[in-house]
Each structure stands twice: as C-alpha cells, then as structure tokens.
Amino acid sequence: MRASPRRLLGLMRKEFLQIRRDPSALAIAFVLPALLLLVFGYGVSLDARHVPIALVVPSPDAFTTSFTGQLYGSPYFEPRSFRSIQRAERALAARQVQGVVWLQSDFTRRAESVGDAPIGVFVDGVDANTARIIEGYLRQVWANWLASLARSRGQPPTLVLAEQPRMRFNAEVSSHDYLVPGLIAVIMTLTGALLTALVIAREWERGTMEALMVTPVRVTEILLAKLAPYFALGMGGMLVSVGLAVFLFGVPLHGSFLVLTGCSALFMLAALGMGLLISSAAHTQFAAGQIAIVTTFLPAFILSGFVFDIHSMPLAIRLITHLIAARYFVTLLQSQFLAGDIRSVIVPNAAALALMAVVFLALARARARKRLD
C-alpha cells in the first residue's frame, strides 16, 4: 500500500467542509481569538497612570509646595489633599487612595536646619506590583525635586549620581505593546492544540475514526489530513491577530513580517504536534479538552514569559519552561514586534521551535496506530 494523493486530498476536503459547517470549530478558531484579543487589548494593562494618592501637609509653605508641585505635575499621580494623617489612612484602608505622602508639620524646619527630613510614604502593599511601581515613581519625583532645588539654590547636587535610564525598544513603556504580541502565542495554542485534540476526539466519539481505519487509508494520511487544514486555520488566526494588534491596538511591528510568519509556522507545527499527541492518548472530547488546557493553554499563559518574568521563577519551574513551545514563541513575538529582526533571538528560538515540532510530530506519528487497542 503506497501513499495516495487522492486519499489525502479526499480527507483534506472533508476536513475543510467540516470546519466550514461546524459552528463550534469556527467559534474556537475565530470567535475565541477575537474575544481574547479584545479582552486583553482593552482589559490588561500594567501601566499605572493617575494613581490616586493622599497628600497630608499640615503646615504648607513655599518649601513644601516646591515638592508637592512636582507631584501635581506628574502624570503618574493624582494627589488629593487630606487634612490629617488619620483621614488619609482611612482613605487608604478603604482603597480610595493607593498611597499616602505625609510631610509633617516640622518638615520645612528640619529640612532647612539638619536635613534628612522624612517624607513619610505609605503605599497599599496588597497589589505589590503596583506598589513597587508607585514607589519607583515617587523616588523619581523626589530625585528630580532634589536636583531642581540644588540648581535653584546654586548648590552642588545632593545626589552625586545622575541616573540616566533608557528603555530600549519600548520607549513609550506601554504594556500593551508586549502583551498583545504575546497573546498571539496563546491564541495559536488554542487552535493548534485544543481544537485539533477536540476534533480528533470527536471522531472517536462519533465512531467515524473506526470507519476510517478499516479503509485502506494510512495513518500518516489521516494525520496529514488533520494537520493541513488546522495549520491553515491557525495561520489564519495568526494573520487576524497580527492585523488587530497592528491596526487596532497600534502595536509597532519592527521586524519583518516574513520572519514572523516563518516562526509562527514553526510554532503552529509544534502546537499541532501537541494536539495530535494529546488526541492519541485521549479519545473523548472531555478528556482531550482537560489535558489540552492543562498542558498547553495554561502553560502558554503562565509559563511562557507572556505576563510573568521567567527569570524570577523558582529553578524547578524555570527548567519546566524550557519544555514549553510557547516560551520560545513569546520571546520571538515580543522581539519581532518591538525590536526587529535580531539574528541572535531568531536563530536559537526558531531552532528550539523546529526541534519541538519535529519531536512532537514524530511522537504523534509513533503513537498513532491503526488499531483500537
């Protein structure tokens, strides 16, 4: 029995017809990605702006105003004046403000005499990330204030180091610009692994797989016929996502589209390999869905570096992330969008994706047998 192009084409035509007519496949392939993109694009942002803070200055004068003026001028803060520290603390407890800045009544006197007058800062530590960012912003405000104070008085600078921060690639510091590209990896995981695993499980449940198996069709043909249409579907999803990212959310695409497409294709193959592998183990949609979500979707979200920094994870989990295709793809995506074609990023990550694609597809082929036992 040799491979026959007619059988393969027949199977592929069937897959396309089914996708076209099955509302749930279309939902997973197009509605879910669009929903994810919109929800993420609009809902997810780590950029703190206009943070409400309480300002307690019991005895304001020109000196304290030179400091608080900096706060009012900062785009990061929205200071609200409170008359006593107790009221400010109550507002903090009631989540009306996220931080308190307190200049005690002897602030000016101490600053002008001995120096080191404390600027009391309390931040709401519940959301630690935002708290850290607020602290960072406050420190900048303070440093700027010190510098301008020294300048206006003609004194040497109090801070002997001039910090010159420079953000490479994402000068606007917009978290959208890295979250939206990373999301493409999650979306392609959905079509590649989840949808493929579900579709094959459905063939088992409905008995169509058994009917296929007794025809002269070869296992490789069945697998190829599944790969091709869902590859196309996944790449279609990728194009839609890239389009939305660039045109709706205004994420810059610095790298070449060609490289992006090539890397996406490699990732898609790896995801499809995962999907096929899952379906060889799970013959019900319920089980396939569960396994696909836990082994592909969740890791693509949490362990890929898409939101959470991989370097900061415990060693054991850091090692696990190396087994997750989305990790390499997220790295590639963020770089391709925000930085451009960087060989030293593309080559190792694309190689890792290619390797994973080959391994998963080979495993899927080895596990697929034309038997029911």
- Residues 123-182, interacting with another protein (CB under 8 A): 123-133, 135-136, 138-140, 142-143, 146-147, 149, 155-171, 173-175, 177-178
When asked if residue 21 is in the footprint of another protein (CB under 8 A), the reply is yes
| Dihedral (Cα; 175, 50, 138, 147), 10-degree rounding | 100
Binder among 87, 112, 257, 359 for another protein (CB under 8 A): 112
When asked if residue 319 is in the footprint of another protein (CB under 8 A), the reply is no
Q: Mention every residue, 6+ apart, whose C-beta is less than 8 A from residue 125.
A: 131
When asked if residue 323 is in the footprint of another protein (CB under 8 A), the reply is no
Closest distance to another protein from the beta carbon of 119 (Å): 5
At residue 372, φ and ψ (nearest 5 deg) are: -95, -15
Cα 313-316-320 angle, rounded to 5 deg: 90
Residue type, 252: P
Closest distance to another protein from the beta carbon of 295 (Å): 9
Greatest CA separation for the chain: 96
Indicate the residue among 228 and 358 with the shorter CB distance to another protein.
228
At residue 154, φ and ψ (nearest 5 deg) are: 70, 25
Q: How many residues are given for the chain?
A: 373
Indicate the residue among 271 and 338 with the shorter CB distance to another protein.
338
Indicate the residue among 310 and 358 with the shorter CB distance to another protein.
310
Other C-beta atoms closer than 10 Å to the C-beta of 176 total 20
Residue 104 · residue 120 · CB < 8 Å: yes
Binder among 44, 281, 323, 362 for another protein (CB under 8 A): 44
When asked if residue 75 is in the footprint of another protein (CB under 8 A), the reply is no
Closest distance to another protein from the beta carbon of 314 (Å): 5
When asked if residue 246 is in the footprint of another protein (CB under 8 A), the reply is no
Q: Mention every residue, 6+ apart, whose C-beta is less than 8 A from residue 14.
A: 225
Closest distance to another protein from the beta carbon of 216 (Å): 4
Touching another protein, residues 199-218 (CB under 8 A): 202-203, 206-218
